[in-house]
Structure 1
Amino acid sequence: MLSPNEFRDRYPESELSDELPDSPVSSLRDLQYLYGKLYTLATTGGGEYAPYLTPDAARDLVDTDDSLIVVRIDVSGDEPKLADDAPGPVLVTRYTNDLIQQVGHSKYPAARGIDHSVTHQAGRNSDPEKLARYAKERLTRWATDDVVTTAASGHPEGWVINRLAELGTREGALEAIEEAVVRGLGGESATALLTVQVKTERDGDYRWPGDIAAFNEAMRQRKLSKLVTKNKADNSSGDATDLVTGEPSRTVGTAEDPQNYFLGKQLEKFPGLDIENAWRSHPISEDAAVTVMNAEAFVEACTYRTFGAKVYYLPYFFGQLTPERVYRLYEMLFSAVEDGSDATPIELAYMEERELDDSDARLRFYVSAVMPHQMSRYDVFGETLNGRLHFPRELAFTHNRFVRNASAFNTDTDWTAPLPKNDKWGLLSANDEQLHAVSTGWYFYQTFAERDDAEADADDPRIEALVSVLSGDAIAVDVLLEEYVTRIIDGESDDDFEGFPSFLVASQFAQLCALADGDLDLLKTNDPGKNQIALKPTYERLTMPTLEEILIADGGYPAEQKLESFIDETPALSPAHDDDEDSVTSERRGAFLLGALVGDIGSYQEYHEDRSTTLVDQYPVKSITRARIKKVTQETVAKTLTYTRQEKKSGQRYPGTKAEHIVERLRETVLDPDPDDWEIDTDDLRFYYALGVTYGMNDHPDWDQQSSDANDELTADEEN
């Protein structure tokens, strides 16, 4: 395959323009055709027969010993005969780069079939006898194939093929070929291409198949014959307008393509398919169909697997196909083919995009995911031609910025931030792998309900979320909450978490906030009660006085300002979004506050009471419902009052109730109203309860920060 520089040199702008389609890419077929055209130009060059060749099929044989076995035939006289000059009737040699075009190989990927071309690729390490049989079949099988003989009968040079078939009827000639092959290989096995050289003029040279027009046409007809008989069709072809070129031509209906679309069992693309009339439903010309098939190398290089599905992320430039844009596109495709890393096409495109100038802002991607099933069925979903690198890239950057800077995870005080960070959790640290996580789907694997990827299906919400992000479509808030809560409930009973899965909940919340960023607009909901969840949070870095400067008024937890700020800056919880006609925000805030109190008191029980079972264990997320929330609140507040009295008896002097800043808000949101009349749905209720538990468990002095400050003071004293 030509390098990008070689491609530019081989095809200057004027010549490349003649090879390009006249219209912009407007469909998957257009894009596949463009990829196939570029691949053909880069491997076999231009010309009528170039799209039909498969130069990469035997690429691993190039420059290997005994990799090309050539039967030499002289048809220049009255009777065809084997060559009697040196090197004799069979030449065993090396398959080299300069012979790729000359042998004219066209692979037919079928276990028991013969290749479309007279040149045939044998299996690996075939024994000499088998290779001898393949060599003889160039005369006895290929030259006598029905399609080949039909093509020969209508071609001026068809007589050359007929002479090969004639020679194949002579036992003496066949025995001589076998003996020469075995002798040439020295009795050793080999992996090789089998082909012929033919002398057609008495004073002429022996010609390769690629130099004989009749061989090329027969090869072309054999390959085309397979495009109209797939899925047991007799002849799915007819005259129609080619959907790629827009020109009237003979079209085929059952052609293969790199993504297995438009097949008989691909119901999404061919509903109610009539095999024989498939060319009417999806007319594509013979040459265009073959060119589309040649797109496979580039298409495969721009795909990757995740969640049991195959994700296609195919770059192209929106608008007219200028030579300069095509050069840039070829650079991207070549890099994808040659890249040996685990980087996804998205990451490779990102690295390429950093080198693009402003005029290349038209970069787009075809995005889809395909779920394979048994019996050659494929489900296609999430398909779009308007994917942009902007969405996965910006989501990764937004997530990192949020975790790095937002007050929800950061504080400039001696008190912890509202939610915990952890460098060992990918979504709780700003890291260079975030784009990889987004593009592979790992971003959602960490937060969504766990599933068996071996039994994944097209309804997998993780795949839907991934395709939505890649294509810039919004994800439903309902889907996120349902997946989050299911994963949290599973996590509560998972031994890996050693208690409440607070890092999981914090990761989910960070993801939710990143998706809600207004510049991305990747969240949607049809439920007015959830509109606030889809709003971008406006967290400012929280700054408060140090502990020494705070008048401790609530039993040692100077956290009222922190709670106030977090609630006000979280749209889903903020009183600013309360509405008389929609009380769900207030109800959600009540669930959060209850969780915060349960987490706070639960932590107190664990660290001060040395209890192995705390309120956090007593009231798991799965137990929280509208019917139970008031009872849980009453019991939690009662437990809080008990610990308040105990601390006062032990000599603690402070007015009011322990965690009073939470308790008083709970009275306003849960205890006084009647939760029986609440409208919030269960997943919404449970997620924000879990968020509250995480908040409450993390609501304490920042011991690391205080220790660091103390060390700084000691160092300063020593210096003085």
Structure 2
Amino acid sequence: MLSPDEFREKYPAEVLEDELPNSPIGSLRDLQYLYGKLYTLATTGGGEYAPYLTPDAASDLVDTDDSLIVVRVDMSGDEPRLAADLDPVLITRYSDDLIQQVGHCKYSAAAGIDHSVTHQAGQDSDPEKLARYAKERLTRWAVDEVVTKAADDHTDGWIIERLAELGEDETILETIEETITRKLGGESATSLLTVQVKTASDGDYQWPGDLDVFNEAMRQRKLAKLVTKNKADDSSGDATDLVTGLPARTVGTSEDPQNYFLGKQLEKFPGLDIEEAWRSHPISEDAAITVMNAGTFVEACTYRTFGAKVYYLPYVFGRLTANKVHRLYGLLYHAVENDDTTPIEDAYKDERDADINTRDLRFYISAVMPHQMSRYDVFGETLNGRLHYPKELAFTHNRLVESVSAFNMKSEAEWTAPLPTNEKWGLLSTSDEQLHAVSTGWYFYQTFSERDDDEADADDPRIKALISVLSGEPIAVDMLLEEYVNRIVDEQTDDDEHEGFPSFLIASQFAQLCALADNELQLLRPTDPSNEPIAHEPTYDRYIMPSLDEIPIADGGHPAAPKLESFINETPALSPAHDDDPDSVTSQRRGAFLLGALVGDIGSYQEYSEDRSTTLVDQYPVKSITRSRIKKVTQETVAKTLTYTRQEKKQQGNYPGTKADHIVDRLRDTILKPDPEEWEIETDDLRFYYALGVTYGMNDHPWNRDESDVDEIEEEH
């Protein structure tokens, strides 16, 4: 395959534009056709038969020993015979310069022969089998029904007829077998088998690719398969080609790089009559072949995740100018050569390294879920994917955990940020791999409920979220909360695998939620007015949290109080500024968060000061929090807080106020006075923000706390 520089040199603007479709990309078929056209130009060049060749099929054989076996036939006399002036059977190396000359066209059926007279043997075939394949160039291919019909209609059809005639001579066949067996010396080989023919006494032996009759017979064999797939008799007819817009003989059961539009692919062909498929999806013979050639580029731009196959195919928006297509070819070439990155990352690298404007770059996106052989579900399909969404989501996420007050603080800060970060957690660190995580789905794998990929289905929320982000479609808030809570509950339940409260997981989920809510991206969709605030971008300060001395503390209070006030006010899902009605879901959500903050705070006190192995955090796991229980949990937690307050007063004599009073006072107004059983908040909403509160409370302490100064810290707190 030509490198991007070689492609640009061989196909300058004036040459390439003559090869390109006249209309912009408007469908998947248009895109596949363009890919197939570029692949053909880059591998077999232009020309009538170039799209029918399959140079990749035998690419592994290039420059390997005994990779090409050639039977030479002399047809220059009255009777065909094996070459007498040269070696009648040549065993040599298959090389790049022979790709077009051997004219190989692969047929994937296990028991079939290739469309071309050139045939590819299986891996490490023994000499006897290779000899049989060589003889079948004369005894099987040359007498194939489609090949003989093509020969009848061609002026040079006599060449194929003489090839078949030679195949009736047992002496000739024995000579071929004996020669191949002797030359290979009993060793197995992986080879292409073909013929060379001499048609004039003073001429040279010609390869199949040099003779039009061989090319036409190959073409007709391949076309014949386009109308008989899925047991159709002849799914063809005259119609307007959906790719070129021109009248043509169209076919209905052609192969497809993505297995779309096949007899068992019901999403694309509901109620299919296989014989009439050409009416539902008319594509001309030559266009169908070109589409089939898109396979190499299509496969290079796909990856598997969550049990599905995700297609992320780049193309250029608008008119197909040579400059745009040259750049597109570069992306496709690098996708073929590099298995480690996705097309998203490749496009971003080009944009970054070459200062390329990606406004004209679009992506076709879909996910395919296989159920059984030849049966698939296609979902999330769009032609409007853009680099902007995954790229900006990755950058927004990194900015959040690196430089906003909810997740970070100055190095000299004496008090922790509201939520923890951890360099070993991908979503709690600023990682260069974040774009890779977003584009492959790992971004959601880290936060969503875990599933067995072998049992995944088209309703998998992880796939829905991935496709939504790639295409810029908002994700439903309730789906996110359900997945988050299920993952939290699973981790708290599985004691053997996970230890302690999953605070890093919850902080990761919240960072993801905030990134998706970014005002520019708007990748969150509220499913009802009550969770609309969750879809709003937080207003955390875009600077690192100040040190303890810089925090304004009113009335000689403690820094924990203004820190809590600031976090709640800057989080739209919790903020009274968004909705201060005590009966609103926002107020209820705030109450759940505050309860969690108190449970986390007192639970940490129990662990560090009381040396208790089981704390309130363990006593009230996330799955135990419901509307009917939350008031009781609050009462018990406040009672435990007052007990520790009395202990502190006995020990110190002048302990001021109530322990964690900045939380307790708020709880009295949000949970203890109202009746939570009449709340309207959904359970997942309630539990997630309770879990977020626990994470906040466990992380709410002076920076660099250690066992030696626990008592002193707790006295202050």
Shorter-chain TM-score range: over 0.9
Aligned to 2:714: none
1:35 maps to a residue whose letter is Y
Q: Distance in 2 between matches of 1:447 and 1:455?
A: 19
Aligned to 1:294: 293
Aligned to 1:163: 162
How big is each residue's C-alpha offset from its partner over 1:67-93, in whole Å with a ceiling of 9 and x where there is no partner?
111111122222211111122x21112
Q: Work out whether residues 448 and 483 of structure 1, in 8 Å CA contact, stay in contact via their aligned partners in 2.
A: yes
Total equivalences in the alignment: 704
* 3-state SS of paired residue (2:628): helix
Aligned to 2:566: 565
Matching of residue 459 in structure 1 with residue 459 in structure 2: yes
Q: Distance in 1 between matches of 2:291 and 2:664?
A: 67
* 3-state SS of paired residue (1:268): coil
Q: Distance in 2 between matches of 1:387 and 1:582?
A: 41
Q: Work out whether residues 331 and 343 of structure 2, in 8 Å CA contact, stay in contact via their aligned partners in 1.
A: no
Q: Displacement of 1:152 after TM fit? A: 0.7
Aligned to 1:712: none
2:630 maps to a residue whose letter is I
Q: Work out whether residues 414 and 547 of structure 1, in 8 Å CA contact, stay in contact via their aligned partners in 2.
A: no
Aligned to 2:592: 591
Q: Work out whether residues 553 and 655 of structure 1, in 8 Å CA contact, stay in contact via their aligned partners in 2.
A: no
Q: Displacement of 1:703 after TM fit? A: 2.2
Aligned to 2:417: 417
2:469 maps to a residue whose letter is V
Q: Distance in 2 between matches of 1:71 and 1:16?
A: 38
Aligned to 1:189: 188
Q: How do 1:495-514 residues align onto structure 2 when only pairs under 5 Å count?
A: 495=495, 496-514=497-515
Q: How do 1:602-613 residues align onto structure 2 when only pairs under 5 Å count?
A: 602-613=603-614
Q: Distance in 2 between matches of 1:356 and 1:226?
A: 44
Structure 1: 5+ residue stretches without partners: 709-720
2:277 maps to a residue whose letter is A
Q: Displacement of 1:63 after TM fit? A: 1.6
Structure 1 residues 167 and 545, CA gap change in structure 2 (3 angstroms): closer
Q: How do 1:596-675 residues align onto structure 2 when only pairs under 5 Å count?
A: 596-675=597-676
Identical aligned pairs, as a percentage?
77
Q: Distance in 1 between matches of 2:204 and 2:355?
A: 52
Q: How do 1:243-254 residues align onto structure 2 when only pairs under 5 Å count?
A: 243-254=242-253
Q: Work out whether residues 414 and 705 of structure 1, in 8 Å CA contact, stay in contact via their aligned partners in 2.
A: no
Higher mean C-alpha deviation, range 389-398 or range 371-380: 371-380
Match of 2:545 among 539, 542, 545: 542
Aligned to 2:205: 206
> With structure 2 as the length reference, what TM-score do the two structures score?
0.96
Aligned to 1:475: 475
How big is each residue's C-alpha offset from its partner over 1:153-182, in whole Å with a ceiling of 9 and x where there is no partner?
111111110111111111111112212222
* 3-state SS of paired residue (1:371): strand
Q: Work out whether residues 142 and 148 of structure 2, in 8 Å CA contact, stay in contact via their aligned partners in 1.
A: yes
> With structure 1 as the length reference, what TM-score do the two structures score?
0.95
Q: Distance in 2 between matches of 1:330 and 1:121?
A: 29
Q: Work out whether residues 529 and 582 of structure 1, in 8 Å CA contact, stay in contact via their aligned partners in 2.
A: no
Aligned to 2:442: 442
Q: Work out whether residues 404 and 429 of structure 1, in 8 Å CA contact, stay in contact via their aligned partners in 2.
A: yes
Matching of residue 515 in structure 1 with residue 513 in structure 2: no
Q: Work out whether residues 529 and 585 of structure 1, in 8 Å CA contact, stay in contact via their aligned partners in 2.
A: yes
Q: Displacement of 1:448 after TM fit? A: 0.4
Structure 1 residues 215 and 581, CA gap change in structure 2 (3 angstroms): farther
Q: Distance in 2 between matches of 1:539 and 1:696?
A: 18
Q: Displacement of 1:97 after TM fit? A: 1.6
Q: Displacement of 1:378 after TM fit? A: 1.1
Structure 1 residues 375 and 548, CA gap change in structure 2 (3 angstroms): closer
Q: Displacement of 1:707 after TM fit? A: 11
Q: Work out whether residues 91 and 184 of structure 1, in 8 Å CA contact, stay in contact via their aligned partners in 2.
A: no
1:384 maps to a residue whose letter is T
Q: Distance in 2 between matches of 1:560 and 1:595?
A: 15
Q: How do 1:108-119 residues align onto structure 2 when only pairs under 5 Å count?
A: 108-119=107-118
Q: Distance in 1 between matches of 2:607 and 2:540?
A: 31
Q: Distance in 1 between matches of 2:582 and 2:472?
A: 32
Q: Distance in 2 between matches of 1:358 and 1:501?
A: 42
1:44 maps to a residue whose letter is T
Q: Distance in 2 between matches of 1:648 and 1:552?
A: 21
2:122 maps to a residue whose letter is G
Q: Distance in 2 between matches of 1:206 and 1:615?
A: 88
Q: Displacement of 1:652 after TM fit? A: 4.6
Q: Work out whether residues 243 and 287 of structure 2, in 8 Å CA contact, stay in contact via their aligned partners in 1.
A: yes
Q: Displacement of 1:542 after TM fit? A: 3.4
Q: Once superposed, what is the RMSD of the aligned Cα atoms? A: 1.9
Aligned to 1:18: 18
* 3-state SS of paired residue (1:231): helix
Q: Distance in 1 between matches of 2:409 and 2:8?
A: 54
Q: Distance in 2 between matches of 1:109 and 1:552?
A: 81
Q: How do 1:77-226 residues align onto structure 2 when only pairs under 5 Å count?
A: 77-87=77-87, 89-226=88-225
Q: Work out whether residues 553 and 654 of structure 1, in 8 Å CA contact, stay in contact via their aligned partners in 2.
A: no
Q: Displacement of 1:375 after TM fit? A: 2.5
How big is each residue's C-alpha offset from its partner over 1:13-49, in whole Å with a ceiling of 9 and x where there is no partner?
1111111000011111100000000000000000110
Q: Displacement of 1:474 after TM fit? A: 0.6
* 3-state SS of paired residue (2:635): helix
Q: Distance in 1 between matches of 2:179 and 2:223?
A: 34
Q: Displacement of 1:146 after TM fit? A: 0.5
How big is each residue's C-alpha offset from its partner over 1:256-287, in whole Å with a ceiling of 9 and x where there is no partner?
11111111111111111111111111111111
Q: Displacement of 1:563 after TM fit? A: 0.4
Q: Displacement of 1:344 after TM fit? A: 1.9
* 3-state SS of paired residue (1:508): helix
* 3-state SS of paired residue (1:138): helix
Q: Distance in 2 between matches of 1:372 and 1:436?
A: 24
Higher mean C-alpha deviation, range 92-101 or range 245-254: 92-101
Matching of residue 408 in structure 1 with residue 406 in structure 2: yes
Higher mean C-alpha deviation, range 581-590 or range 525-534: 581-590
Q: Distance in 2 between matches of 1:545 and 1:55?
A: 68
Q: Displacement of 1:430 after TM fit? A: 1.0
Q: Work out whether residues 151 and 217 of structure 1, in 8 Å CA contact, stay in contact via their aligned partners in 2.
A: yes
Aligned to 2:390: 392
